[in-house]
Amino acid sequence: MRLFCLALLTLFSLLSSAPVYAQGKQQDKLNVVVSFSILGDLVRSVGGDQVNVTTLVGPGGDAHVYTPTPADAKRVSEAKLVVINGLGFEGWLPRLIKASGGKPSVITASTGIKPRKLADDGHGHGDADPHAWQSVANVRAYVLNIRDALIAADASGVSTYLTNADAYLAELDKLDREVREAVAKLPAERRKVISTHDAFGYFAQAYGIAFIAPQGVSTESEASARDIAAIIRQIKAQKIPAVFLENVADPRLMRRIASETGAAIGGTLYSDSLTDEKGDAPTYIGMVRHNIKALASALTN
């Protein structure tokens, strides 16, 4: 009987201590805030169980035109590390960090990549194109920057961060090869499409599919009637086979362009945001795979 009581007591103390243990673990994790969903996936892939990742602009959101909330300020104030894309993508972020009153380290994931310069639009906006993640080779640099930032913020996780980063870099190399092989199979004269906003410049540079977009690099500005008319002429003259919708843009403009030109709608490309887990692009790697599959099927014939 005494033995039984002892066993019961041991069991009870094990059970009651379990939640406390889990809570302690949770608090040990490194709090990282990221600006948008693609960075969230990259930081989770490298950080694994060592990090708590909070994404400000979640799946389906548009980081170009985001308005931070008071809850975001609270999240930033609790973060040790904030990871941003940079290249002018998150214009709203410096003010948010200041307003939060926190003192996180701010890491720019795109540091070290070769920025794609934009032509001056006549209003002094001859800046860099922020969508560097659309080239898989650039995301290698993102992952190395994220790995080093996590190590600097949390030395206790160094072996996790090194191991996860290495595994993810190998996945990226495989992905890059997949995209190149898919493009190589397409007839050269069909490697051109229309997308809504100019988000695929790095993809075009890296893989040799031309993208033409009525909207500029930010979704903030609307396409003018003149831009749309010019694109319609270009689709007809160059026999551009397909028009793509984007998850962060209004589909109506593209549907109109498709109906006026006879170009096919090739589906949706994911440019600046992932989907939730049930969608077509829940991870960065899933997003690139979805996009190349959609492009290949629209441009094959």
Residues that bind Zn ion (CB under 5 A): 199, 272
CB of 209 to Zn ion, least distance (A): 17
Q: How many CA within 13 A on the CB side of residue 29?
A: 18
Q: Residue 195 and residue 215: Cα distance in Å, rounded?
A: 9
Token reading at 175? 């992905």
CB of 272 to Zn ion, least distance (A): 4
- Tell me whether residue 72 or residue 272 sits nearer to Zn ion (CB atom): 272
- Tell me whether residue 154 or residue 272 sits nearer to Zn ion (CB atom): 272
Q: Residue 263 and residue 161: Cα distance in Å, rounded?
A: 46
CB of 156 to Zn ion, least distance (A): 36
- With a CB cutoff of 8 Å and minimum separation 6, the contacts of 124 are none
Short-list 185, 101, 86, 183, CA closest to 138: 86
Cβ neighbourhood burial of 80 (10 Å; 0-12, 13-18, 19+): middle
- Tell me whether residue 199 or residue 243 sits nearer to Zn ion (CB atom): 199
- Tell me whether residue 79 or residue 287 sits nearer to Zn ion (CB atom): 287
- Tell me whether residue 154 or residue 198 sits nearer to Zn ion (CB atom): 198
CB of 87 to Zn ion, least distance (A): 11
CB of 152 to Zn ion, least distance (A): 29
